[in-house]
Structure 1
Amino acid sequence: MAKTKQRIIAEAIRILATSGYAQFSIGEVATALGVSKGVIHYHFPEKTSLLRAIVEDFYQRAAEYMGAHMRLDTSAAEVLRSYIETNLTFVAENRTAAVATTSIILNARDREGNPIFQDTSGDIYQPLIEIFTYGQQIDGSFRKFDRQLMATILRSAIDTAAQLVLHNSAAENAALLQEIVTTFDLATRRNSDE
């Protein structure tokens, strides 16, 4: 049963990435898999539940990737660099799923027309706030700044860069990554006179 669910998610991701959100339907997924719509609805009672599963799967895999690849036993500046690198590397290595997930996040709406995927809790900023707190209060490598605001700015930069990563060459992505790392190193670094 779990295999069927994963096949449905994988096919839905492929269709979303190639056809776009507007053309996506449960029927198209069923046809591509050679099953009835009932099979899809058995696992995902409505389109929204399938879309949620795709987004949750992407973010779960991203968290696992970052957990396995981030360097945490170093300075705050290096942890921040690692956070940025692992985020954008994951996107580059998972382009199809990133395109599908972005399409869902930008387009999926509830019956009232409100975005379904709106992080009002601020959870996405918490890892950055922790890195900034470490750099300001523990290792002393970061200057004083509003951690929530800096996390919001950096997360926006990463999300925007992720869109570029999807279409860039490896060389362009390397340059983009270095520029973002340098920008936020300079933005957070404590000056020698502080």
Structure 2
Amino acid sequence: MQASHSSDKQDAAVSRTFTESARRAQIVAAAIEVIAEVGYGKASFARIARHAGLSSTGMISYHFAGKDDLMREVVAEVLRVAEAYMRPRIEAHSDFPGRLRTHIESNLALLVEYPKHLPALVEVLSNIRGESAGMSEFVGATEEMNRVLAERLREGQRAGAFREFDAEVMVHAMRGAIDEVVGRAAREPDLDVTACGRELAEIFDRATRKTAM
């Protein structure tokens, strides 16, 4: 009987954990939608609770210590989705130019597949710089991704696949161009994001390509 009672308690604990995880995911998904639609500043707990179909903001406060805590999870979720979506597509190519093109095209394909995620990420990161110490790790994470991409470009240069250029300047140019398309997509619902991705990939392929002497 004791073993059965213990098992029942364990099952109940697992059920609570699953339910709480599902509720947190529901709140994060709602927050992403609200931030993308109305912006970081207007993404109040009240709006997020309504969007998530919750009876009160207390459900959010139960799962998250405050807006900073929730925004941290929003950024983490977007980065997880982006990593899972983009990495296998990029790594399917063995050549440097192919990986570069796919990095750009898959980044914008992500916007088509998950239309709220990148706008929410841009909104959060552009609003919390210097405001929240708790978010600094995610600002650092995006900067680290830029550093890694710059090093991949340098590897391509050393391998003779790319011409000589300042890798950091090129990365920031690509990041700015991609972010501009994200912004345009929010303003222009009919924008062909896939075509924009192909065009940017072609532009940066030409910009980095090592021409025959």
**Superposed counterparts of 1:28-67, under 5 Å:** 28-32=47-51, 33-67=53-87
Instruction: Give the C-alpha shift of residue 109 in structure 1.
Output: 6.1
User: Would the alpha carbon gap of residues 61 and 183 (structure 1) be closer, same or farther in structure 2, given more than 3 Å must change?
Assistant: same
Distance in 2, matches of 1:6 and 1:36, equals 17
**Superposed counterparts of 1:20-99, under 5 Å:** 20-32=39-51, 33-99=53-119
Code of the aligned partner of 1:82: T
Instruction: Give the C-alpha shift of residue 25 in structure 1.
Output: 1.2
2:126 alignment partner in structure 1: 106
Encode CA deviations 1:67-103: one digit per residue, 9 max, x unaligned.
2222444221111001111111101211122232222
Instruction: Give the C-alpha shift of residue 134 in structure 1.
Output: 2.7
User: Would the alpha carbon gap of residues 175 and 109 (structure 1) be closer, same or farther in structure 2, given more than 3 Å must change?
Assistant: closer
1:122 alignment partner in structure 2: 143
Contact 1:84/1:158, CA 8 A, preserved across alignment = yes
Structure 1 or 2, whichever has the larger Rg, is: 2
User: Would the alpha carbon gap of residues 75 and 180 (structure 1) be closer, same or farther in structure 2, given more than 3 Å must change?
Assistant: same
Instruction: Give the C-alpha shift of residue 110 in structure 1.
Output: 6.0
Encode CA deviations 1:5-30: one digit per residue, 9 max, x unaligned.
00111122222233333322113333
1:12 alignment partner in structure 2: 31
User: Would the alpha carbon gap of residues 111 and 141 (structure 1) be closer, same or farther in structure 2, given more than 3 Å must change?
Assistant: closer
Instruction: Give the C-alpha shift of residue 53 in structure 1.
Output: 0.9
**Superposed counterparts of 1:132-143, under 5 Å:** 132-138=153-159, 140-143=160-163
* Partner-residue secondary structure (3-state), 2:203: helix
Structure 1 residue runs without a partner (length 5+): none
* Partner-residue secondary structure (3-state), 1:86: helix
Contact 1:65/1:90, CA 8 A, preserved across alignment = yes
**Superposed counterparts of 1:105-184, under 5 Å:** 105-108=125-128, 118-119=139-140, 122-138=143-159, 140-166=160-186, 167=188, 169=190, 172-184=192-204
Distance in 1, matches of 2:55 and 2:178, equals 38
Code of the aligned partner of 2:199: E
Distance in 1, matches of 2:70 and 2:124, equals 11
Structure 2 residue runs without a partner (length 5+): 1-19
User: Would the alpha carbon gap of residues 174 and 168 (structure 1) be closer, same or farther in structure 2, given more than 3 Å must change?
Assistant: farther
